[in-house]
Structure 1
Amino acid sequence: MKVDDNWIIGAGIYNPPENSSIAKVGTDPQIRERLKSFVGEAINYANESGKEATIAEFNNQNGTFVRDSPYIHASGYKGTTLALPYQPELIGTDLSGLQDPYGVNYTRVEIFLAQQGGGFLSYHYYNPARNMTLEPK
């Protein structure tokens, strides 16, 4: 979702329950509402605390916005990583050209969705709870 005209934030879940398909989890209204609420909470925090303090909090692995899965991540509208708590080495890098193994350019899609008012997508990313194993998110 859009924070303002300079940056966006998002969150996701990994490792759906064994008896669920990704499509089912992606359309589960409770999961979608949980993610939407979490991101909304983060946007409220950003509006109250300012960008610099908020990004520091998002990057704090022991902070309010790191709950294993989900955790908040943030980027600028050109794809520059602002917050990615489990991969701090990527802060300041442009991820707009990256794709998952199935060709999903997740950063560009996230930016597009934020510009449209927010949304959901499915892609594969590295799960910090499972030693950075590439998994559906």
Structure 2
Amino acid sequence: MKRLMTAALAGLLMAGAWASTEPSEKDAIAMAERGASFIKQHGKDEMMKRITAKDPDFVQGSLYVDMRDISTGIVLAHPYNPTIVGKDLTDVPDASGKKYRREIIELAAKKGKGWVDYMYKNPQSGKIEPKTTYILRVGDVVLEAGIYKK
């Protein structure tokens, strides 16, 4: 009986792990690092094309990479919001008033990588939700891969 209960519990735990499709911080870091490797091999122009085309290596539901210029803050590529590409939104605040894009650029310039928290529209739910984004500097661009907090 004890073996049967242990097996049943193990099965439930495994099923729960498979059912959990929410991306993690680890997934965001891995995606940004994958983007950095891609840029080093193929260049930032090709990376921008991949992001825009929603390449599954860089766009997986609510987890995606976008890219901005570190000097100007101009958005270079975004898979879900093409209307912001080519714009400098550095000092435009989120729904709570935080100038998170400024924080992203400053963190990238000073440390090269790290996390920034803010509010952003989730492409899956269509709602403004808390988000944490891993930022990674690659030369003169910043890759951003974030997850929505539940």
Q: Same fold by TM-score, threshold 0.5 exceeded?
A: yes
Aligned with 2:83 (options 79, 89, 99): 89
Change (3 A) 1:36 1:62: closer
Name 1:99's counterpart in structure 2: 93
Residue aligning to 2:5: none
1:52-88, Cα deviation, whole Å (9 max, x unpaired): 1111101222442111121001111221011111011
Aligned length: 107
Alignment of 1:1-137 (within 5 A): 31-77=24-70, 78-115=72-109, 116-131=111-126, 133-137=127-131
Tell me which residue corresponds to 1:27: none
More off after superposition, 31-40 vs 48-57: 31-40
Q: Conserved in 1, the CA contact under 8 Å of 2:31 and 2:57?
A: no
Matched to 2:102, the amino acid is: R
**1:89-130 per-position Cα deviation (integer Å, ceiling 9, x unaligned):** 111011111111222211111111111121101100111111
Percent of pairs with identical residues: 29
The CA RMSD measured in Å over matched residues stands at: 1.6
Residue identity in the other structure for 1:125: Y
* Distance (whole Å) between structure 1 residues aligned to residue 29 and residue 56 of structure 2: 19
More strand by share: 2
Alpha-carbon distance in structure 1 between the residues aligned to 2:32 and 2:55: 17
Higher relative contact order at CA 8 Å, sep ≥6: structure 1 or structure 2? Answer: 1
1:35 deviates by 1.7
Instruction: Name the CA distance, whole Å, in 2 between partners of 1:91 and 1:62.
Output: 17
Query: How high is the TM-score relative to the length of structure 1?
Result: 0.72
In structure 2, the residue matched to 1:14 is none
**Structure 2 residue ranges without an equivalent (≥5):** 1-22, 132-150
| Larger of the two Rg values belongs to structure | 2
The answer on whether the counterparts of 2:95 and 2:120 sit within 8 Å (CA) in structure 1 is no
Give runs of ≥4 in structure 1 deviating > 2 Å: 30-34, 61-64
Query: Which residue of structure 1 lines up, in the alignment, with residue 7 of structure 2?
Result: none
SS at match of 1:123: strand
